[in-house]
Structure 1
Amino acid sequence: MRHVLFAACAALAVLSSAPVLAQSPAAPAPRVQVVDGDIARFWTAYDAVRAESDPARQRDLFQRLYIDQGTPGLAAFMQAKGYTIDTFLDAIRAYPTYWDTVRPRTALAGQALEKLEIHLARLRELYPDLRPAGVYFEVGALRSAGTTQGDKVLIGVEMATGDASVDLSQMPPNLKRFFTTYFASDPLENLDLLAAHEVVHTQQRGERQTLLAQVVYEGVADFVAEKATGRMPKLPYVTYGPANDAAIRTAFRADMNGEDFGGWLYNGVNNPFGTADLGYYVGYIIASRYYDRAPDKAAAIKAMLELDYADQAAVQAFVDASGYLNAGAGSGI
């Protein structure tokens, strides 16, 4: 297993107007541990499973060669996404051409690390209280390209490194549509952006009970990641949202205090707008309007990252301060 440790942030330059404290060493920059050894372990287990026809033997091999030897990141990923041995084995058996064609691409995940280090330095500038996090490259079972659990960023490389060369022919139509759209967004090229988004999530706190809290949670991660990386993901909601802002805002107001995320997040295109994840757009605009209105930009970032998403009154106050959901609010990313 390769463990790569790098500084999350470079030391900030001291402003010429700031006083010099001769005996006050700078606080050490938080570090990010990047672990990728589970990728190789997965493919060892995959080869063993494919060479074995007995289901019980397949389970034993996969358990011993991948799960039992996995990192804490693999255990966290399995817990976060409800993965079991059967989840993995069912996906391996159902889509062998997918796995065979995505395999060489999973080795490319490490190329995002250099850019990620730069982004983390920028995050430290934006938010000096940035806490350490671990980034784990995992092979999942096609449920997530990226998520978090606690201080762990969990990247599913079997999705996050794919492109149009990956064979989707064995998938049902709904999955084929999803992956075709997702791979068109150049996920490998944007893996550093995804990782930055997920690192932001490791800084946030509070369980989200309403749709409003969840979209703000996601939108803040998009907004702060954009500040760190200088770009947004090439996903449909980024362009569709500004062009249809008024209708989106009206529809969102009707749903925002509910607990059903299905029409707005993690939903594919099965919603009235026919565009996935428009809740990210709503949350991003709320965060950006809050930032634009704030006289102290550093304090605005701090407020975003320290917002307690379990406190619905605090979430509502943040949204109100943005002005976005008020009548006559403007549009555009």
Structure 2
Amino acid sequence: MKKALILLVTVLALANCNSRQQLNQNVVTTDITNFWDAYDHITSTKDSILQYKYLDSLYFQKGTVGLEGIRQARNYTPEDYINAINSYPKFWKSIRENTLQVSNVGAELELGIEKLKAIYPELKPAKIYFTIGAFRTGGTTIDSLVLIGSEISLADSSTETSEFPENFSYLKSHFATNPKKHLVFLNVHEYVHTQQNPRVFNILSLTLYEGVAEFVASKALDKASPNPQIAFGKENAKRIREVYETEMFYPNNLYKWLDGNAPNEFGMRDLGYYVGYQICENYYNQADDKSNAIKTMIELDYTNESEVEEFIKKSNYFSESLDILYQNFENKRPYLVGIKQFNNKSRNVSPEIKEITVTFSEPLNGHNTGVDFGDLGQDAFPKNDIKGRYWSDGNTAWTIPVELEPNKDYQIFISNNFRTQESIPLKPYLIEFRTGNK
């Protein structure tokens, strides 16, 4: 009997050892130790040439595919790293110990992934890479790689931020939420992204993509999202929906809702996470088969418009159908009324004309403009002086100087980058005409 017990203990010990080895294969932290080796060398000298040499040889060249991935995903340059290291010594000193302890959270991460697999049995394997970046992401993904920016995700309320510039204010508020405490939630959120289909880059698709990951992580871990956008969104649900219903169609408005600091009336960034979360929660609550609802969310095909529309329809989140909301948006858009010097598509425009003035249906913001080539390409775009372009009083017209040649076809595409004071984009308009003889 004693021998049997000894054998059982031995088997269990080997099983635990194998489990830890498997975990070590799935959670990779070597980039962190490499970073601090490079950091110590970089900060030991003021010679910039040596600093870049140490960064490359001790960090980049020794880096994992995870480090390569996060640099690619966030366009990190060597200059970004050297500037960050030299500019914030107090920050780096305060964050160092947190990052070096990351290997201790492996068991928690594994448990979180197991909980995700329990509600989504089709879960495919992915690797988690803890790297150190230069303040552009706490976590992102590329294919089956979860890429954690440890300088953000392992911060806490005691992390030193006094050196940060004004445009880092969002990091100060984020660190106050103690992101290190919510590391497992972040990893499960990012792990969900490795299971999803590719996004379509419009605001609604990106909102759903993030909302799915946030909602599924919350269900898997059976805990409320720690991200303040979710609670704030629920407290301001009606107004957020009203604004989103219009602004989701704006072509240049992404950073008011996701991954940016563009100002909005709520004073809270990344509210697209809440909108996506709420759509998913509504969809889940109406579904009879909850397991299939999770599967549908994760496997949503963003390139299939009818599938996305059906998902949105069942969520019953918006006040109207997407078609009606889009038509409401179109009805609000300013448009180009006409051209002062000639009628559009004229075939005998004087080549002596020195400027072209377009008039709008209402005043625009007097700042944003946008012209491009038409289908005929660059050769059909008039020669012009960028410095000579100007707005009318009241911003109801805009003028571009031109140099025209006789007997030639021309095109000027007036883009939707023109917009009102409320950022409603102009309906695009193609100016096309042919000049006559001199």
Distance change >3 Å, CA 138–CA 185, structure 1 → 2: same
Stretches of 4+ moved more than 6 A in 1? none
TM-score (norm 1): 0.86
In the alignment, which residue of structure 1 is the partner of 2:305?
A: 312
In the alignment, which residue of structure 2 is the partner of 1:238?
A: 230
CA contact (8 A) 1:213 1:312 kept: no
Structural mapping, 1:168-207, within 5 Å: 168-175=161-168, 177-207=169-199
Distance change >3 Å, CA 229–CA 5, structure 1 → 2: farther
User: How far apart, CA to CA, are the structure 1 residues paired with 2:250 and 2:238?
Assistant: 20
User: How far apart, CA to CA, are the structure 1 residues paired with 2:84 and 2:117?
Assistant: 39
Q: 1:224-268 CA distances to partner (integer Å, 9 max, x unpaired)?
A: 101111223333212211111110001111022344311111224
In the alignment, which residue of structure 2 is the partner of 1:271?
A: 264
SS at match of 1:203: coil
User: How far apart, CA to CA, are the structure 1 residues paired with 2:110 and 2:247?
Assistant: 38
Q: Which has the larger radius of gyration?
A: 2
Greater relative contact order structure (CA < 8 Å, 6+ sep): 1
Quote the offset at 1:4 in angstroms. Answer: 5.7
Letter of the 2:171 counterpart? F
1:303 to 296, 303, 306: 296
CA contact (8 A) 1:108 1:161 kept: no
SS at match of 1:47: helix
Q: 1:25-56 CA distances to partner (integer Å, 9 max, x unpaired)?
A: xxxxxx97110011000000001111122111
In the alignment, which residue of structure 2 is the partner of 1:25?
A: none
Query: Are 1:81 and 2:74 matched, yes or no?
Result: yes
Consecutive unaligned residues in structure 2, runs of 5 or more: 1-18, 321-438
SS at match of 1:222: helix
User: How far apart, CA to CA, are the structure 2 residues paired with 1:195 and 1:33?
Assistant: 12
In the alignment, which residue of structure 2 is the partner of 1:19?
A: none
Structural mapping, 1:285-304, within 5 Å: 285-304=278-297
Q: 1:128-162 CA distances to partner (integer Å, 9 max, x unpaired)?
A: 11111000010111111111111000111111111
CA contact (8 A) 2:199 2:209 kept: no
SS at match of 1:280: helix
How many pairs align? 302
Seq. identity, % = 38
Query: Are 1:156 and 2:165 matched, yes or no?
Result: no
Letter of the 1:136 counterpart? Y
User: How far apart, CA to CA, are the structure 1 residues paired with 2:156 and 2:289?
Assistant: 41
Quote the offset at 1:269 in angstroms. Answer: 7.1
User: RMSD in angstroms over aligned alpha carbons?
Assistant: 1.9
Query: Are 1:69 and 2:48 matched, yes or no?
Result: no
User: How far apart, CA to CA, are the structure 1 residues paired with 2:281 and 2:245?
Assistant: 18
SS at match of 2:179: coil
CA contact (8 A) 1:210 1:258 kept: no
Quote the offset at 1:98 in angstroms. Answer: 1.0
Letter of the 1:217 counterpart? Y
User: How far apart, CA to CA, are the structure 1 residues paired with 2:261 and 2:224?
Assistant: 19
Structural mapping, 1:23-38, within 5 Å: 33-38=26-31
Letter of the 2:122 counterpart? D
Q: 1:270-317 CA distances to partner (integer Å, 9 max, x unpaired)?
A: 211111211111000100111111111111111111111233332222
CA contact (8 A) 1:185 1:233 kept: no
